[in-house]
């Protein structure tokens, strides 16, 4: 079965409608608050790893709608994946779905919550829809056709105007990262240390060096998919997270790519495209149009190498 341009357009349109339908379900559930009432703790009884009835209902709707419309396609969804299970990833079109990215935000009413629907063909992410129903932000992309906010505004955004050029080093970068929900003492201890270290250099350096930190600022919004969309829209320079999953990132990576951004799972450009199953991701925004294409790619790679070097230096867990 070969998948053409027209197919991708059909898949994208279908995914957009489905995401909007799910967005309405998420809004209704949040108003009724039934999801909070029937909230259950995550698979290991970890109070930081939540799953609600709404997560399950939304994923069920997505899965059954896709199966009905595209019965021959594969499906990977967070709530249909048992802990430790490894999916067989095939060349056939495969939907990779997170019904609610930002469940903790959803439960607390913090409005960074998204439904994320991605599609891979021949193992490459080619269609992405990330919809935040609380802020009514719909991020969409298909390979080769650009990325959009609310269907008409092209990404990256032209705000601020003129757009900031890509920084020449990470000390000028605004960075998004997350602690995630893993609360094993080793992981959380290391993550706390690594985030603090980004703001105030560790080790045997002078006070003024320490004060400068490695990066300009750190933000955490609690949704990997929306974090990557922030990089795609250009309002964040870098996002890195170690420990999230393919359903957190697949859709958003298409959006970022189409917005001129770039993602790696490793230090260099030589390792090829990002491994969506790699569980570590470093995403960088595009440059401003005046940076020029080749210059932009070189600056992106320089910043990526610098940032991975720092992540390794501060011993971020993986």
In this structure, what token pair is assigned to residue 26? Answer: 């998420």
Q: How far apart are CA 132 and CA 218, in angstroms?
A: 22
Nearest to residue 78, comparing CAs of 61, 94, 101? 101
Q: Which stretch binds ligand IPD (CB under 6 A): 147-155, 239-247, 251-259, 301-309?
A: 239-247
Q: What is the smallest separation between the CB atom of 219 and ligand IPD, expressed in angstroms?
A: 11
Q: Should residue 229 be labelled a site residue for ligand IPD when binding is judged by CB under 6 A?
A: no
| Minimum CB distance to ligand IPD, residue 221 (Å) | 7
Q: Which of 54, 223, 263, 299 binds ligand IPD (CB under 6 A)?
A: 223
Least separation in angstroms between CB 7 and ligand IPD: 28
**Phi and psi, residue 287, nearest 5°:** -85, 180
C-alpha to C-alpha distance for 315 and 275, rounded to whole angstroms: 21
Based on the shown chain and the rule CB under 6 A, indicate whether residue 291 belongs to the binding site for ligand IPD: no
Q: Which is nearer to ligand IPD, 89 or 179 (CB)?
A: 179
Considering the candidates 55, 59, 78, 79, report the single residue annotated as catalytic: 78
The DSSP 8-state label assigned to residue 171 in this structure reads G
Q: Rule CB under 6 A: say whether 237 interacts with ligand IPD.
A: no
Q: Which is nearer to ligand IPD, 22 or 244 (CB)?
A: 244
| Active-site residue (options: 52, 94, 103, 263) | 103
Choose between 252 and 284: whose C-beta lies nearer to ligand IPD.
252
Question: Which residue of 118, 180, 234, 260 would you call a contact of ligand IPD, by CB under 6 A?
Answer: 180
Distance in angstroms (rounded) separating the CA atoms of residues 114 and 235? 18
Task: Tell me if residue 101 is catalytic.
Answer: yes
d(CA 289, CA 34): 47
Q: Which of 237, 248, 258, 291 binds ligand IPD (CB under 6 A)?
A: 248
The kind and range of the H/E element at 302 are helix 293-313
Residue 167 in contact with residue 289, Cβ under 8 Å?
no
- Which residue bears the tokens 């992405």? 128
User: Is position 78 annotated as part of the catalytic site?
Assistant: yes
Cα distance between residue 29 and residue 155, in whole Å = 30
* Separation between Cα atoms, residue 246 and residue 70, nearest integer Å: 21
Cis peptide before 156 (omega within 30 of 0): yes
Residue of 93, 125, 143, 178 interacting with ligand IPD (CB under 6 A): 178
* Residue 222, binding choice from ligand IPD, Ca ion, none, Cβ under 5 to 8 Å by partner class: ligand IPD
Task: Decide: is 102 part of the binding site for ligand IPD (CB under 6 A).
Answer: yes
State which residue, 195 or 244, has the beta carbon closest to ligand IPD. Answer: 244
Instruction: Examine residue 103 and tell whether it contacts ligand IPD (CB under 6 A).
Output: yes
Q: Which of 313, 315, 305 is nearest to 282 (CA)?
A: 305
CA dist list (Å): 200 to 75, 184, 186, 312? 43, 24, 21, 16
Provide the minimum distance between the beta carbon of 104 and Ca ion in the complex, in angstroms, as a whole number: 9
237 interacts with, out of ligand IPD, Ca ion, none, CB within 5 to 8 A per kind: none
Burial tier of 92 (Cβ tally within 10 Å: 0-12, 13-18, 19+): middle
Q: Does residue 98 belong to the site contacting ligand IPD (CB under 6 A)?
A: yes
| Residues that bind ligand IPD in the complex, under the rule CB under 6 A | 78, 98, 100-103, 178, 180-181, 222-224, 241, 243-244, 248
Active centre residues (catalytic): 78, 98, 100-101, 103, 248
Annotated binding site for Mg(2+): 78, 98, 100-101, 248
């Amino acid at each position: 079965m070969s998948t053409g341009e027209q197919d991708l357009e059909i898949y994208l349109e279908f995914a957009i409608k489905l995401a909007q339908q799910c967005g309405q379900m998420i809004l209704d559930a949040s108003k009724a608050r039934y999801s909070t009432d029937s909230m259950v703790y995550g698979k290991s009884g970890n109070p930081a790893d939540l799953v609600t009835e709404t997560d399950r209902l939304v994923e069920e709707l997505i899965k059954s709608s896709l199966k009905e419309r595209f019965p021959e396609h594969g499906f990977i969804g967070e709530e249909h994946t048992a802990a430790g299970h490894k999916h067989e990833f095939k060349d056939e079109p495969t939907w990779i779905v997170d019904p609610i990215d930002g469940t903790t935000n959803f439960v607390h009413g913090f409005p960074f919550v998204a439904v994320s629907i991605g599609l891979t063909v021949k193992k490459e992410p080619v269609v992405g829809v990330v919809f935040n129903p609380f802020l009514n932000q719909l991020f969409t992309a298909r390979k080769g056709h650009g990325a959009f906010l609310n269907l008409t505004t092209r990404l990256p955004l032209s705000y601020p105007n003129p757009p900031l050029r890509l920084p020449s080093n990470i000390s000028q970068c605004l960075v998004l990262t997350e602690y995630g929900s893993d609360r094993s003492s080793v992981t959380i201890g290391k993550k706390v240390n690594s985030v603090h270290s980004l703001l105030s250099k560790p080790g045997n350096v002078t006070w003024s060096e320490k004060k400068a930190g490695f990066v300009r600022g750190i933000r955490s919004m609690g949704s990997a998919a929306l974090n990557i969309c922030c990089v795609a829209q250009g309002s964040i320079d870098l996002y890195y997270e170690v420990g999230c999953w393919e359903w957190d990132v697949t859709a958003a990576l298409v959006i970022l790519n189409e917005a001129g951004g770039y993602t790696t799972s490793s230090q260099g450009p030589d390792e090829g495209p990002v491994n969506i199953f790699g569980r570590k991701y470093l995403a960088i925004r595009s440059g401003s149009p005046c940076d020029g294409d080749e210059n932009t790619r070189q600056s992106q790679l320089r910043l990526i190498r610098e940032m991975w070097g720092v992540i390794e230096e501060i011993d971020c867990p993986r």
